[in-house]
Amino acid sequence: MTFKVLPGADWRAILADARTTLPRWQANRELKRKHYVLSTDGKTSGGVYIWPSREAAEKAHDATWRANVEKRTGAAPTIVYFDLMMLLDNEAGTVTEWSETGEKQVVATP
């Protein structure tokens, strides 16, 4: 999901705004992980979410959530859904793969 950053907002302001969303996402037990991201030109911000299903993602990103993003940023968010096929986690030293039907398998560990 991406959205335009308000004109004139700097790193601190964008991070402060992102912090206001933490309680919502911490309370969502379906959300596995969220990466908060900012483009190098500082004009686009967004999140990379890891959900157990597209249905969980769509439920969380409902009309109320979309309206709130638009109110905070002045523009509707852009959402693109991807299926997670494989995750390389160098910090944990693992590689995890998912089948087309969603079965998870750790295929490499340290």
In whole angstroms, give the CA distance from residue 45 to residue 36: 8
In CATH terms, the fold of domain 2-79 is Alpha-Beta Plaits (3.30.70)
Furthest-apart CA pair in the chain: how many Å?
46
Tell me the pLDDT tens digit for each residue of 79-93: 999 999 999 989 988
Question: What are the residue boundaries of the structural domains of the chain, listed by start?
Answer: 2-79, 83-110
**Whole-number pLDDT of residue 81:** 95
CA distance from start to end of the chain: 32
Q: Are 81 and 54 in contact (CB under 8 A)?
A: yes
Whole-prediction pTM value? 0.86
Tell me the pLDDT tens digit for each residue of 8-33: 999 999 999 999 999 999 999 999 99
108 pLDDT exceeds 80? Answer: no
**Whole-number pLDDT of residue 73:** 86
Q: What is the mean pLDDT of residues 64-71?
A: 93
Q: Are 3 and 73 in contact (CB under 8 A)?
A: yes
